[in-house]
Structure formats: structure tokens, C-alpha cells
Structure 1
Amino acid sequence: MLVLLPPSESKAAPAKRGKPVEVAQLSFPELTDLRKQALEALIEVSAQPDALTRLGVGASLADEVARNLTLHTAPARPAHQVYTGVLYDALGWDSLSPAARRRGNNRVLVISALWGALRPGDRVPSYRLSMDGELPSLGPLARHWRSELPGVLAAAAGKRGVIVDCRSGPYAAAAPVTSFPSDVAARTVAVRVLRETNGKRSVVSHLAKHTRGEVTRYLLEQDTDPLTPAALRDLVGSRWPAELSEPARAGSSWTLDVVLHD
């Protein structure tokens, strides 16, 4: 099993001490060159007078953008401590059992606009950058990562087991399921969260993030991994109402709808 998560736009406050990131020591060294390019481009744009506009953020985030200038020297910490927000609060890494944390270190990948893909234990500093933006000299970030990231994720998925895709749209665009080898795409399941009220269903972003975090936690706390989309449906369905839909077209993912009733 491999679980793909988006990052959180919010990050933990920077650590006060510690060693800076060692880019070449992060998981998936084949991404090192792309990471260095993104890092330098982000530092460059963050120093510009119009940095907030270029990065698509408001004045309230000016301090976070300014901190991008210190990414080479800022203290780093494990990714599971850097990412905060609704999904990561629901995942509750620190309160997972020791066995679940070990499983998470091997089975969870966070897709990042700055780093490409991280394992939870990879040490990085807090930063401000979204995958739906672009950087001078690199262009759209999703396109920047698309040259290498699909192959990295496919290799991480291995030869068996499901890929549980909890990414949001911009992060999925950096490595679309249609770019995976056919055998990997055939066992990829996108998790969608629906709220049902009076027989009508709708997607609610905040609730979806929270539930994806809970689903990830639930999967990590199990003793065995689901090997097929149907097995994933049965496992998730033991906790929430869950419905599995086949791929809409060749090369696309399965869809697992987690249905929450009011």
C-alpha cells in the first residue's frame, strides 16, 4: 500500500534550532536537481518587491514569504512536524501507535510543490509555495515536477498493493494517474468524500480533508495492507459507508466514495 497525501498550505512555526535541510539526503535522490531548481527559484522570487503577488498570497502571509529567503539555513524538522492543518490534525501522527508510525514512514508520501515527494521522516524547513502557482525560469510547478515525479511514485508503489490517492487537484496534476504505468494506474484509488443530506450528496472541502486524514490514520493502524481496490473498499467500509467505482476510462483511477450522513 502507498498513500499519497497533499501537503498543507499552513506549516508549523519555524524551529528555533537545528540543522538545515540537506537536499541530497532527502528520499528519492533522483529528484535532487529539480528540488534545487525549485528552491533557488523560490528564494529568487521571494526577494522581489512583488513577491506576494507572484506567489499568489495576501499581505497576512508576508512573514512566511520572507522566511523563504532563509531556506538554505533555516532549521529543518521531519515533514510530519512541518505540515499542519485539517488533514494532518485528523491523521494525528504523534498519537499513532509505534507500529502505525513505522508503517507510515514506509507507506505515506507527501507531494510537495518545493520538494516533489517526501516521506514523513524527511527533514525540511517550513516554506510558502503552492503547486498551483509558477516560478520564473521554471513556469508552472506541476509541469516542472511532471518530468520525474510520475516515475518516482510508480517505483515507490512497487509491484503489488493499492495506491490510495488523497491528493488535491493541483498536486495530482504534478503526477497524473494517466502518466503511471498501466499496472500501477490499475490499482490506484482516488479517495473522494461526500456529504449526504436528505438524499442529496455534495463535496465539502474542509470535511474532505479531515476525513482523508482519518482514513489514512485508520489504514496505518491496521495489521495488513489492502492488496486490491475491492479490499480497500471493504477495509474502509468497515469504518465508514464506502462505495467503489471503476475507472471511467483506460489509465484513470478507481474512485472510492466515503459517504458521510448528516
Structure 2
Amino acid sequence: MPLPQSPAVIAFDADDTLWHNESFFKLTEARFAELLAPYCEKNRVADRLVAAERRNVHHYGYGIKGFILSMIETAIEVTDGKVPATVIGEILTAGQDMLGHPVEPLDGVREALAAIRGIAPLILITKGDLFDQERKIAASGLQKHFTAVDVVSEKSPEVYARIFARYTDDMSKVVMIGNSVRSDILPVLELGATAIHVPYPLLWALEAADFPVGHPKAIQLKSLTDLPALFGRA
């Protein structure tokens, strides 16, 4: 599948595309299940937490703070309101640990970004809590590669179209790269842009979607280390 010959803009997702993110959520989920083990089976805790997140995402948005609130809500539910204050305190501590966790860029990300700089403006489009996303972007050391950063509440075709319109009115000249088929691939394909899927080993349940195999503008790579070769910059 050929890329646009002269892309107008190359956009990247952030979490689990440029740096590790979901792995920290999974570790906290395991810690949460241990805290509630005296009250509920671990598998049931996980299911109830996902259900709470699904209900709450439209109220709290994406990110760690909404995750903390969903854990507290789940703890109240599975204990019939009897959850000890000490457990609530542990949940808050776990969330605070996540908010202060070091940012770890994925292998080869720095080299890949450096290799394709100059082809087109590189921009970053990420959803989540503004404060936390700005912290991670700064801590990653990758901001210098991007001409613009957009933190959005949702990744819809309308949101993407508004961002891409700053660079071109021809969506066929847009390239988007990310790990989530639901958020980074399908909405962009709907606009007529090219979407490059780079899977991450872990995926949040609310981001689950099937890759559109056979779509003429959908590309799948094993790693971002393969990206420079795709642009002829190997």
C-alpha cells in the first residue's frame, strides 16, 4: 500500500504508540483486585471495573483520574457500601503512583521520529486528562519532534478533520499512526486519510476493535522501527 507521495501532515497517537501506558493500568488493576479479594473474586472485580469505566467515560473522560474514580465506585459496589476507608486510601495511593510514574518511550521511537522529520509536519494527537498528558509529553523528551500537540477529549472523525484542516483540505494527504484501531485507525479512514496501525501488546477493553483487513488505506506494522523504511528513510 503506497503512502501519499507528498504528505501534508503526519500525525501520531501518544499512549502505547510512543511510550508505555496500558502496562501501568494493568499493574494497578492487579493491585486493585488484591485489595478487594476479601470481598469479591478477582475475575468479577475486573469485569465490574470495566463496566464502571464504560459507564463513566462519558462523565470523566479518559485517563488516570477517571480510572481512579471508577475503581472507587467499583469498590463501593462489590462491597455493598462496606469498603473500608483504608482500602479507598490504597486506591488513591495507587492512582497517585500512576500519575507520578516515569515515562518510558518504546524502543526505537526516538530514532524513527528523527528519521522521518522533514517529510511533513509531525503532530501529536492524544486524548485524556490535559494535565497528565502534558506531563507525559514533557517527560518523554519527544516534544521537540512535533510542530503541534493536541490533547482532545475524544477521537472522532469530526475532531480529526478539524485538526487536519490546519494543514490541508485534502484528507488523502494525511497520515495517522497509532496503536488503537478504534481511536487511531477507523475514524481517520472514514475521512479518506491513510492510517498506520502499530499494535501494542496490551489493549484497554474499551478500545477493542477489529483491524480493517484489506482496506486500501490501512497499513499494519509490527513496530515503529519499521516506519522510516515505509517512508523511504531506512
For normalisation by structure 2, the TM-score amounts to 0.38
* Greater relative contact order (Cα < 8 A, sep 6+): 2
For normalisation by structure 1, the TM-score amounts to 0.35
Q: Which has the higher strand share?
A: 1
Q: Which has the higher helix share?
A: 2
